Chain A
């Protein structure tokens, strides 16, 4: 398939090769989790209370990091103009790029999450839950984030604006995902939070491309 699919493949290659793609967000995720015990106390009980929540926040913030570059490069070198001028729909471009970046960065974040979970004294039996929640959560964070990325495309130092705009959109995923992690840690009911987190992620995937496309069309106007 041509069009968006070829953009997806190209974006995936560029994300992996250009500057070590996932290294920075993964590094940030690990670093943020690592300094948590210094702030909340390094006793096991403290970490059981604060650990899952802090990890979830760190995942959200780590997902925000790639957003500033998501559309910036293509806007600056005229690639976005070339795509738009060829008659392709911006929705496909937004979806393709966000999906590619999630695969290149969001999945590595989810894979490293259980390691950080154990470091924060989370029960190892819950490791599988942690991966599943992190996969779904990072997808939600990346796709909602793409809306902020598209709105701030073309701005110097758009990062802060992206964060301000995107954090309200993160709230449902924050609530459901963290609730699920706490449930997984204490052996409680995790099915409902999982469903709700997945619903939030699906909503983000389904609708973000439209908002991002509108914002991108404004950026090249």
Chain B
């Protein structure tokens, strides 16, 4: 939960390197981030933004370096990972999928309904996944973040396929999360978030490989 321990929420990345196959995408990447901060990851396609997010989420193993999340207590602070795939099933309805994620995180079903309203899908509840547009699927993916509060948000192109209102929604959600003391790291193209730091991943290119 965010709140009391938020001020001590810290992410320390040291000398991080990532590889894809034989290529090293970036190396020597170090930064520190605190609760209440938003970090934008910038860089051209293929520079390693997604890979960096996946490493922070624990999905991909780094080639070198360390990642340390520290919160107030002994446990590692909880993370939410939103990849560029939406994890939307074609046969389940939007409401069913939101309800699933509420159950998955051990939350009340009412939370799912609240989240659906918040992301603007309340009039699409009974539509199966295959009937949703790309933007609607993206909104459905955001439901996970709202149904279960966790201090760290790792977002890969959260505004992809979203219209103007959708992008405004994401900006709002990110802003509210930051104000609560949460931490947001987002790979993003185009307009970013006000008051955020920026990390250009392409500024840490691989040295020539022997």
Query: Per the CB under 8 Å rule, do A and B touch in the complex?
Result: yes
In the assembled complex, the Cα of A86 lies from the Cα of B152 at a distance in Å of 11
In the assembled complex, the Cα of A85 lies from the Cα of B154 at a distance in Å of 9
Q: Which residues of A contact B92 (CB under 8 A)?
A: 10, 14
Q: Which interface class (under 10, 10 to 19, 20 to 34, 35 or more) fits B?
A: 20 to 34
In the assembled complex, the Cα of A14 lies from the Cα of B58 at a distance in Å of 27
Does A82 make an interface contact (CB < 8 A)? Answer: yes
Q: Which residues of B contact A27 (CB under 8 A)?
A: none
Pair count A-B, CB < 8 A: 69
Distance between B110 CB and nearest chain A CB, rounded to angstroms: 15
* Docked-complex contact B100 and A10, CB < 8 angstroms: yes
Does A77 make an interface contact (CB < 8 A)? Answer: yes
Q: Given A2-B104, A6-B103, A87-B79 in contact, is the A82-B61 Cβ separation under 8 Å?
A: no
Q: Which residues of A contact B84 (CB under 8 A)?
A: 78
Distance between A10 CB and nearest chain B CB, rounded to angstroms: 5
Q: Given A2-B106, A10-B100, A14-B92 in contact, is the A81-B59 Cβ separation under 8 Å?
A: yes
Q: Mark B74-96, 1 if CB is under 8 A from A, else 0.
A: 00001111011111110110000
Q: Which residues of B contact A220 (CB under 8 A)?
A: 59-60
* Docked-complex contact A85 and B78, CB < 8 angstroms: no
| Residue in contact with A81 in the complex, picked from B79, B85, B103, CB distance below 8 Å | B85
Q: Which residues of B contact A1 (CB under 8 A)?
A: 106
Distance between A18 CB and nearest chain B CB, rounded to angstroms: 5
A1-56 with Cβ < 8 A to chain B? 1-3, 6-7, 9-10, 14, 17-18
Does B105 make an interface contact (CB < 8 A)? Answer: yes
- How many positions in chain A have a CB within 8 Å of any CB in the partner chain? 23
Q: Which residues of B contact A7 (CB under 8 A)?
A: 104
Q: Which residues of A contact B103 (CB under 8 A)?
A: 2, 6, 9
* Docked-complex contact A81 and B91, CB < 8 angstroms: no
Does B49 make an interface contact (CB < 8 A)? Answer: no
Q: Which residues of A contact B115 (CB under 8 A)?
A: none
Q: Mark B179-209, 1 if CB is under 8 A from A, else 0.
A: 0000000000000000000000000000000
Name the residue on B nearest A1 (C-beta).
B106
Name the residue on B nearest A80 (C-beta).
B87
* Docked-complex contact A82 and B89, CB < 8 angstroms: no
Q: Which residues of B contact A14 (CB under 8 A)?
A: 89, 91-92
Does A79 make an interface contact (CB < 8 A)? Answer: yes
* Docked-complex contact A3 and B58, CB < 8 angstroms: no
Q: Which residues of B contact A77 (CB under 8 A)?
A: 85-89
Q: Given A2-B106, A7-B104, A221-B60 in contact, is the A86-B81 Cβ separation under 8 Å?
A: yes
| Residue in contact with B83 in the complex, picked from A3, A6, A76, A78, CB distance below 8 Å | A78
* Docked-complex contact B81 and A221, CB < 8 angstroms: no
* Docked-complex contact A221 and B59, CB < 8 angstroms: yes
Does A211 make an interface contact (CB < 8 A)? Answer: no
Does A84 make an interface contact (CB < 8 A)? Answer: yes
* Docked-complex contact B89 and A81, CB < 8 angstroms: no
A43-94 with Cβ < 8 A to chain B? 73, 76-79, 81-82, 84-87
Q: Which residues of B contact A10 (CB under 8 A)?
A: 92, 100
Q: Which residues of B contact A6 (CB under 8 A)?
A: 100, 103-104
A197-221 with Cβ < 8 A to chain B? 220-221
In the assembled complex, the Cα of A180 lies from the Cα of B116 at a distance in Å of 54
Does B177 make an interface contact (CB < 8 A)? Answer: no
Q: Which residues of B contact A17 (CB under 8 A)?
A: 91
In the assembled complex, the Cα of A221 lies from the Cα of B18 at a distance in Å of 11
Q: Mark B141-163, 1 if CB is under 8 A from A, else 0.
A: 00010000000001000000000
Q: Which residues of B contact A87 (CB under 8 A)?
A: 58, 78-79
In the assembled complex, the Cα of A77 lies from the Cα of B83 at a distance in Å of 10
Q: Which residues of B contact A18 (CB under 8 A)?
A: 91
A166-221 with Cβ < 8 A to chain B? 220-221
Q: Which residues of A contact B89 (CB under 8 A)?
A: 14, 73, 77, 79
Binding site for A on B (CB under 8 A): 54, 57-61, 78-81, 83-89, 91-92, 100, 103-106, 144, 154
